[in-house]
Structure 1
Amino acid sequence: MSLPIVFIHRTAEEHVGLCMQQAKYSNPSSRVILIGSPENKYLSAENTEHFLLSRFYQSAQAFSYVYKHSTSNTYEYNLFCFQRWFILRDFMRSQGIERCCYLDSDVMLYTDISKRDNEEFDDFTFEYTWTTVCDLEKLNQFCDYATKFFRDPLHYQTLLQFAKEIGDAPVSDMVLFILFHNYALRRKATYGIVANGFFDHNLNCPFAPACPQADNLDGKKQIYQKNGALYCKITGTTDYLSAYSLHFQGHAKAYIPYFRSQDIPNTDDFMYFDYPTCKWVPAQP
């Protein structure tokens, strides 16, 4: 059975619709859903669905009463990053969905996520906040976990200390995800590299230090295509990793229109995307 793919976004930005259409292109049998606002309903084309976020906000609102703010990010932004998991949980309950794929609105998906949803994939779930498969039982656990860590002073101090230990990170849902993934679920880190491919952490960043590194170009991962499929090349080797997704974070959102599957060249030889010219060019043999 195909996994539904869910986006949550409050504003009307064109890249959201492009990411939804890419998810549908690579997962034609999946429901692709935007939980959003009246202003962005138009981003859902005929083959996707739109639901009003306000219908699933009750438990997210309750979480706001225990939330504590300790980051340079704005209060509203950081709070909503936590609240979205309560919104997703309540949406799944209302729709009778036991398992889904959640994507941030700047993630382009290039694989059939239902085919990747197997035992080899388990360690990756709940590792990235911007790309993850959620089952309702674990999502319930995470929402309870979040509430406990903000409501209870001792747990909150544990969260602050953990954020400090991993590099003075701001207290965000990403930090709590790592804590939940590593210690509550007791899963090992994959850093997004699964089954000879990768779910991208951030196009602007290299792979984690523990992983083989990919070629870079103009401060971003160098992305290759062959026969319409996307890859990174492992530096100093002739090995390639399939790109299951790309995360166009920050200013990289400007490249999203060039990375739609139907617009990527489909050639027998490798080409790479040249960021300065926004063109696909032949790669050196």
Structure 2
Amino acid sequence: MVEKAKEQNNLSHSIPIVFVHKGDSWYLPYVLRQALAVNHNSDVALLSNETHNSEIDGVEVCPIDDLQTELVQEFYQNYQHISTNSQDYEIFCWLRWFYLLAYMESKGISQAFYLDSDVLIFTSPERILSLHPEIADNCAFLIPQQSHDSYYWCAGGHISYWTQETLRKFCQFTIDTFHKQDLLNMYYQKWNWHIHHKVAGGICDMTTLYLFSREYSHRVINLLVSNREGNFDMNFNSRSNFLEDEYEMQHNHKKVILQNNQLLGISKDKAPIPFHNIHFQGWTKQFIPNYYQGQSFKEKIKHYLDRIFYKLQIPVKTKLKPAFVRMQLFLKNLFK
């Protein structure tokens, strides 16, 4: 037991935080610097097609072009687009896991925390591992409570922990879902439900993560189900987390207060709960600077202007996209 404790302690001091992102989004320096602020003992890496953030001290920028493996090509060869979202968008959401695997293999990294580029993290990886020691030899991500019959089939990897072994299993499982007929049939069952009910979405990497959690339930830890000195945030713009209607809302996002330099969500029973992260999905990206707790940086003025332009686009995108999706699903239902 002592040796095991020593081993886990050593692991906790060598787990990098890795981001995968295309482009030079205005909010990216905030999430990178926030990760640096909490990750005192390990590296922060950005796998990207841009080098704009390579000047941030402590951030390693790795070109995506260096991570094109045979497994990536195998994914491309088997991929089928089954979503109302754009093909380029969905493909990249899957490819990030293959790029993460290639990066871990090239660097000899046995375990890593992955964060989406719209996630602020407030708890260090070593602290998360000490709170959840059961994840050390497995993988961990966020799985809301759901009925399999609902076809919701959603799990979030936007803050997740992976060993190289389990990530390799997930990448191979992803490829299998597109060419093994029993798994592919499950995708089309869900897709037909979307078409019939005229619901946007379809098949994405969150679907695959959900199915992987069922197939490898003994290897997947759900970070949403245990309140250990705080909760993980599934989506800032929703009152749901593991359960529906779990948190209070304010201005169309979770109500969050700052107390003793700690960000607290307010549950429906009025209990303040620390957040290990906040996931600023979609239009809530505009709030990332409000909750950033890292050091000030000189480029913030430029990014402040970018943020203003981003906020001006939100009403247009919010109104146009739903109408476009409804027309798309209507036509698919008409000609299926």
Q: Does 1:125 align with 2:140?
A: yes
Q: Which residue is 1:112 aligned to?
A: 124
The structural deviation recorded for 1:154 is 2.7
- Deviations along 1:245-268, whole A, 9 cap, x unmatched? 00111111111112111489xxxx
- Deviations along 1:205-251, whole A, 9 cap, x unmatched? 112473672221011001111111111112233x2111100011111
Compared with structure 1, are the counterparts of its residues 137 and 254 closer, same or farther at alpha carbon in structure 2 (3 Å cutoff)?
same
Moved more, 44-53 or 171-180: 44-53
Q: Mind listing any 5+ residue stretches in structure 2 that lack a counterpart?
A: 1-12, 143-155, 297-336
Map 1:67-106 onto structure 2 (within 5 A). Answer: 67-106=79-118
Map 1:1-285 onto structure 2 (within 5 A). Answer: 1-37=13-49, 39-42=50-53, 44-58=55-69, 59-117=71-129, 118-119=132-133, 125-127=140-142, 128-161=156-189, 170-186=202-218, 187=220, 189-191=222-224, 193-208=226-241, 210=243, 213-237=246-270, 239-262=271-294
Compared with structure 1, are the counterparts of its residues 192 and 262 closer, same or farther at alpha carbon in structure 2 (3 Å cutoff)?
farther
Q: Mind listing any 5+ residue stretches in structure 1 that lack a counterpart?
A: 265-285
Distance 1:199 1:209 in 2: 9
SS in structure 2 of the partner of residue 198 of structure 1: coil
Distance 1:91 1:4 in 2: 11
Distance 1:134 1:3 in 2: 10
- Deviations along 1:168-187, whole A, 9 cap, x unmatched? 65100001101111332345
Distance 1:23 1:6 in 2: 9
SS in structure 1 of the partner of residue 46 of structure 2: strand
Given that residues 121 and 194 in structure 1 are in contact (C-alpha distance below 8 angstroms), is that contact kept between their aligned partners in structure 2?
no
Distance 2:246 2:127 in 1: 26
Distance 1:190 1:23 in 2: 19
Distance 2:276 2:106 in 1: 29
Given that residues 248 and 255 in structure 2 are in contact (C-alpha distance below 8 angstroms), is that contact kept between their aligned partners in structure 1?
yes
Distance 1:71 1:95 in 2: 34
Q: What stretches of structure 1 move > 6 A for 4+ residues in a row?
A: 163-168
Distance 2:235 2:133 in 1: 24
- Deviations along 1:25-44, whole A, 9 cap, x unmatched? 0112220000111x343355
Distance 2:22 2:268 in 1: 39
Given that residues 17 and 114 in structure 2 are in contact (C-alpha distance below 8 angstroms), is that contact kept between their aligned partners in structure 1?
yes
Q: Greater helix share, 1 or 2?
A: 2
SS in structure 2 of the partner of residue 241 of structure 1: strand
Q: TM-score, normalised by structure 1?
A: 0.83
SS in structure 1 of the partner of residue 268 of structure 2: coil
- Deviations along 1:180-203, whole A, 9 cap, x unmatched? 113323457453654141221111
One-letter code of the match for 2:232? F
Alpha carbon RMSD of aligned pairs, Å? 2.5
Q: Please identify the structure whose Cα radius of gyration is greater.
A: 2
Compared with structure 1, are the counterparts of its residues 95 and 135 closer, same or farther at alpha carbon in structure 2 (3 Å cutoff)?
same
Distance 2:253 2:51 in 1: 30
Distance 1:67 1:85 in 2: 14
The structural deviation recorded for 1:91 is 0.7
Given that residues 6 and 103 in structure 1 are in contact (C-alpha distance below 8 angstroms), is that contact kept between their aligned partners in structure 2?
yes
Distance 2:206 2:34 in 1: 24
Matched residues, percent identical? 24
Given that residues 141 and 222 in structure 2 are in contact (C-alpha distance below 8 angstroms), is that contact kept between their aligned partners in structure 1?
no
Distance 1:156 1:208 in 2: 28
Given that residues 229 and 274 in structure 2 are in contact (C-alpha distance below 8 angstroms), is that contact kept between their aligned partners in structure 1?
yes
Given that residues 10 and 40 in structure 1 are in contact (C-alpha distance below 8 angstroms), is that contact kept between their aligned partners in structure 2?
no
SS in structure 2 of the partner of residue 82 of structure 1: helix
Distance 1:254 1:236 in 2: 28
